[in-house]
Each structure stands twice: as structure tokens, then as C-alpha cells.
């Protein structure tokens, strides 16, 4: 069965829980998967207890309005399928094939219209949450979905994954206040203390075809577990730096052969013995796909 999900409202009478992690996924890396799997593992016991369906989806965008270029959507989708094929994660193609720019506010409105009775959660890092007032109608996201915010650590080469890293001298209340203060002021009153509360804002039916009315405004849960913030940009730079810049006099076939030969061996990725961080952050199947299609290299003439 495909792990790509574009289905509309389930036939189940009970509302489902749907969480979405958006991004360019250019390429998808283990930081994305760790964050999504943490959400899944936290929500699964609640969903089972409440006898509700659970869907945690990666939501690749067509192209970020803040980026001038991105890899062909068909490649990004193929890499996502490879990375999630042995996981419970889904892929939602809502944004992928739209003409850019595509804005998050439009996507959450569409999702709310499709799933008027479900608990909808949009997952993001604190770096994104801090900048919501600069997004198109970013402060209105909570009119349609709740937010799950991770405190991302800006440390690209750290071995830390999603372990709890909280100073024992800092109380839970102080930590919550410190993290909440990073949000735009208008959103700070919407923060809650537990994941269960995040699911409490169940919307009512659509009042009409153009407007969604919620029984409660969306909540914001700030996860205190810092996630190491490896970026796709950093991975692209590493991949590009591994490849020699072939002289223009070389033909494209010889150039590509040189680049593939110089890449970090796939066995190093599988065995996690490579000297740099690619082994820690790239799924082996994704890495092999990148090699096979000469992505993020001089062969693309980018």
C-alpha cells in the first residue's frame, strides 16, 4: 500500500487525529523523520485510548516563497517515499504540484475544509514559530489548526537526537515561560501544557462553503525536547562540496562518472562509519537515489 495520502474525510464516525510536518524536504533527512516520528509515538497511545484514527504526514511544498529554486518535485517525492517506506508516516501531496508560491495559511484552510471534524495539528520548529508574524496571515494559522512547536537546537554536527536535555535547575514552569516568550505576543496566550490538551479543540461543522467555524481556537504545544536543527541546505552544501567541479572541457558523461566515484561510499552510510555527518542524517536509500540521479551536484549545472 502506498504511503502517500491525499484521502478525504474517513468514513469512520469518530474524528481522526491528523498531524502535518511541512517543508521542502530537499532532501528529506533523518531530522525530519525524527520529528515526525516523535509526534506519531506521542499521539499513538492517545489515539488508541480514544479509538481514533491517527495520520502523521509529511507535507512537501511546491517551492518555498522564500527560496528561488528547489529540486524537481518528482525527485523530492521519490526520496520521501524511500525514506518513509518502512514507517507509519504518510505523505500528503496537497502543495507539491501547485504553482508557487503556495502559502501555509491556504493549505491549513483547505485541510480544515476537507476534515471539518478532525483534530488538525501543524508541526514546526521554534525558528519557524518565532517568524510567524512574517508569514502570509501566519498569526491566523491557529484559526484552523493547532500547533506543535519543537525547540530546535542550532547545532548541525551534534550527535544529539531528540533526547530530553533540560537543565535540572530550571523548573518546568520557568522552561515553559522561557519558550512561550519566544512566540509572537498574540499567540502566547494559546499555549497549553500537555499534548492531550492540544486535541481538545475539536471544530464544529462548516458553517458554509467559504468559512470554517471552530468551537475553540487552536492551541499551541511547545515540546521541551530540543531537536538538533540539521538543515537540508547544510546537507546540500556537503553533497556539493564532495563533488569535484569538472572542467568545462569534460563531457557530461565523464563529469558525472567522476562525481559518482568521488561520493562517500554507500556502505559507509549504511554502516554509519563515514567521517562526516551525512551518515547521521541521510537514509541510505535516499543517499543512493541522490547518487543515481546526480542531485545536488555540479552535474546539474546549478
pLDDT at 237: 85
Q: What's the pLDDT at 183?
A: 96
Sheet holding 220-228, edge to edge: 90-91, 54-60, 17-23, 119-125, 146-153, 220-228, 191-192
> Residue 266 pLDDT more than 50?
no
Residue-wise pLDDT tens digits, 78-93? 999 999 999 999 999 9
Q: Which of 95-104, 113-122, 249-258, 260-269 has the lowest mean pLDDT?
A: 249-258
Q: Is the predicted pLDDT of residue 272 greater than 60, yes or no?
A: no
Cell of 129: 514559530
Averaged pLDDT of the chain: 78
What integer pLDDT is reported at residue 276 of this predicted model? 53
Rounded Cα gap, residues 224 and 218, in angstroms? 19
pLDDT band of residue 217 (cuts 50, 70, 90) is confident
> pTM surpassing 0.85?
no
In the three-class reduction of DSSP (H, G, I as helix; E, B as strand; rest coil), residue 37 is classed as helix
**What is the distance between the alpha carbons of residues 63 and 98, in angstroms, rounded to a whole number?**
9
Are 47 and 196 in contact by the 8 Å Cβ rule? The answer is no
Where residue 181 falls among pLDDT bands split at 50, 70, 90? very high
Of residues 97 and 4, which shows the higher confidence score?
Answer: 97
Q: How many CB atoms lie within 10 A of CB 297?
A: 25
Min mean pLDDT across 31-45, 91-105, 114-128, 152-166 is at: 152-166
Q: Percentage of residues in the chain with pLDDT exceeding 90?
A: 50
Specify the higher pLDDT residue, 120 or 207.
120
The pLDDT, as a whole number, for residue 299 is 52
Could you read off the pLDDT of 280-301 as tens digits, one per residue? 789 999 999 998 998 987 555 3
**pLDDT one-digit tens code per residue, 124-170:** 999 899 999 999 999 999 999 999 999 866 544 333 333 334 454 56
Residue 117 C-alpha cell reads as 471534524
Judge if the upstream peptide bond of residue 27 is cis by omega within 30 degrees of 0: yes
Cell triple for 110? 483547505
Residue with more model confidence, 245 or 132: 132
Q: If pLDDT is split at 50, 70 and 90, which confidence band does 225 have?
A: confident
Q: Minimal CA–CA distance to 92: which of 14, 12, 22, 17?
A: 22
pLDDT at 3 over 80: no
Please check the confidence at residue 104 and state whether its pLDDT lies above 70. yes
Q: What's the pLDDT score for residue 210? A: 40
152-164 burial, b for 16+ CB within 10 Å, e for fewer?
bbeebeeeeebee
Residue 49's Cβ-count burial label (10 Å; 0-12, 13-18, 19+) is exposed
What pLDDT sits at residue 109? 96
**pLDDT at 115 exceeding the cut of 90:** yes
Asked if 18 and 40 count as a contact pair (C-beta separation under 8 A), the reply is no
| Cα 261 off chain centre by | 31
For position 207, what pLDDT does the model report? 39
DSSP per-residue codes, 170-211: S-HHHHHHHHHTTS-GGGGGGEES-HHHHT-------SBTTB
**What does the pLDDT average to over 196-222?**
63
Residue 258 CA to residue 135 CA, distance in Å, equals 42
Which one has a higher pLDDT value, 247 or 191?
191
CA distance 266 to 85: 19
Amino acid at each position: 500500500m502506498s504511503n502517500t495520502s491525499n484521502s478525504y474525510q474517513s468514513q469512520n464516525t469518530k474524528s481522526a487525529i491528523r498531524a502535518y510536518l511541512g517543508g521542502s524536504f530537499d532532501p528529506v533527512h533523518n531530522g525530519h523523520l525524527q520529528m515526525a516520528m516523535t509526534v506519531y509515538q506521542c499521539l499513538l497511545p492517545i489515539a488508541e485510548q480514544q479509538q481514533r484514527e491517527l495520520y502523521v504526514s509529511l507535507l512537501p511544498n511546491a517551492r518555498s516563497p522564500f527560496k528561488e529554486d528547489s529540486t524537481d518535485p518528482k525527485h523530492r517525492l521519490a526520496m520521501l517515499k524511500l525514506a518513509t517506506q518502512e514507517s507509519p508516516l504518510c505523505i500528503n501531496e496537497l502543495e507539491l504540484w501547485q504553482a508557487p508560491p503556495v502559502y501555509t495559511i491556504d493549505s491549513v484552510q483547505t485541510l480544515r475544509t476537507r476534515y471539518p471534524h478532525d483534530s488538525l495539528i501543524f508541526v514546526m520548529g521554534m525558528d519557524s514559530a518565532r517568524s510567524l508574524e512574517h508569514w502570509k496571515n501566519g498569526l491566523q494559522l491557529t484559526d484552523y489548526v493547532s500547533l506543535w512547536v519543537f525547540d530546535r537546537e542550532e547545532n548541525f554536527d551534534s550527535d544529539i537526537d531528540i533526547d530530553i536535555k533540560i537543565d535540572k535547575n530550571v523548573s518546568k514552569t520557568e522552561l515553559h515561560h522561557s519558550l512561550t516568550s519566544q512566540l509572537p505576543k498574540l499567540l502566547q496566550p494559546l499555549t497549553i501544557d500537555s499534548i492531550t490538551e492540544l486535541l481538545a479543540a475539536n471544530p464544529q461543522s462548516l458553517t458554509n462553503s467559504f468559512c470554517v467555524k471552530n468551537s475553540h481556537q487552536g492551541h499551541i504545544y511547545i515540546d521541551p525536547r530540543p531537536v538538533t536543527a540539521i538543515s537540508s541546505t547544510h546537507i546540500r552544501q556537503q553533497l556539493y562540496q564532495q563533488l569535484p567541479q569538472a572542467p568545462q572541457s569534460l563531457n557530461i558523461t565523464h563529469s558525472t562518472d567522476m562525481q559518482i566515484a568521488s561520493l562517500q561510499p554507500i556502505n559507509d552510510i549504511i554502516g554509519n562509519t563515514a567521517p562526516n555527518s551525512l551518515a547521521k542524517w541521510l537514509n541510505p536509500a535516499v543517499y543512493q537515489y541522490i547518487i543515481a540521479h546526480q542531485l545536488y551536484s555540479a552535474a546539474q549545472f546549478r
